[in-house]
Amino acid sequence: MLEFFRTLTNNWDIFSRGFLTTLKLFVIGAVGSLTVGTILATMRVSPVPVLRGLGAAYVNIIRNTPLTLVFAFLVFAAPKLGIEIAFEPAAYTALTIYTAAFICETLRSGINTVPVGQGEAARALGMTFGQVLYLIVLPQAFRTVVPPLISMLNAMLKNTTVAAGFSVVEAGAIQAYLSERGENQVVTLFWITFGFLCFVVPLILLQRYLERRWAVVR
């Protein structure tokens, strides 16, 4: 039993470093993909056909590309094309590029739930497309998609572990380190799972809170 806790305390340097990087990847990735995702969703519902097409193309390409491939492209292929990008920024970029496609679609489904009358009424008041979207439609859309949006972020949190294969030492790299130090693998994996739980539980609580607070009465 003592051995069980020692796996954590003896290797605290690796655990803390790993999960700190995971947290960084998660926060920056979340901010990035929410921003890009919102812009993409705007493009996909905009009245300009070219923007709609670009948005759709982005979403369909990225959604059908494994995250590992996005990473591999940035880390291995990009330098050969003359684009230099350090490993950690590459990880932020890959996570943002990838998750934004899913955020975009989640948000678009939210936009579809906003009754047409809302938009029509706003337009009748003389609002422009931008005003209709950002003042009337998007706030309502965001409120309806809180649960799937948090699920998306949750998935991204776990996706951060892909970065371990591309020279970013986060939670996904802990196992390799501890196996080399001769620690019990089952115990190691338990502590990694436990660490992720520490991130996920607050996320779920946030979801519940936002759901209650932001519920749209229709």
Binding site for other proteins (CB under 8 A): 49-50, 52-54, 56-58, 60-61, 64-65, 69, 72-73, 76-77, 79-81, 87, 164-167, 169, 173, 175-182, 185
Q: Please give the C-alpha separations between residue 199 and each of 3, 134, 136, 178, in angstroms, as whole numbers.
A: 25, 31, 32, 21
Shortest distance in whole angstroms from residue 24 CB to other proteins:
15
CB 46 within 8 A of CB 195: no
Specify the residue, 67 or 149, whose C-beta has the smaller distance to other proteins. Answer: 67
Output DSSP code: residue 217: P
Task: Give 43's contacts (C-beta < 8 A, 6+ positions apart).
Answer: 51, 52, 54, 55
**Phi and psi, residue 127, nearest 5°:** -75, 150
Q: Give the separation between CA 217 and CA 143, rounded to whole angstroms.
A: 10
Shortest distance in whole angstroms from residue 179 CB to other proteins:
4
CB 117 within 8 A of CB 185: no
Shortest distance in whole angstroms from residue 74 CB to other proteins:
11
Shortest distance in whole angstroms from residue 180 CB to other proteins:
5
Shortest distance in whole angstroms from residue 158 CB to other proteins:
18
Specify the residue, 65 or 154, whose C-beta has the smaller distance to other proteins. Answer: 65
The DSSP-derived string for 109-154 is HHHHHS-HHHHHHHHHTT--HHHIIIIIIHHHHHHHTHHHHHHHHH
Specify the residue, 6 or 208, whose C-beta has the smaller distance to other proteins. Answer: 6
Specify the residue, 29 or 55, whose C-beta has the smaller distance to other proteins. Answer: 55
Specify the residue, 176 or 200, whose C-beta has the smaller distance to other proteins. Answer: 176
Shortest distance in whole angstroms from residue 131 CB to other proteins:
25
Specify the residue, 2 or 81, whose C-beta has the smaller distance to other proteins. Answer: 81
Question: H or E segment at 208?
Answer: helix 185-214
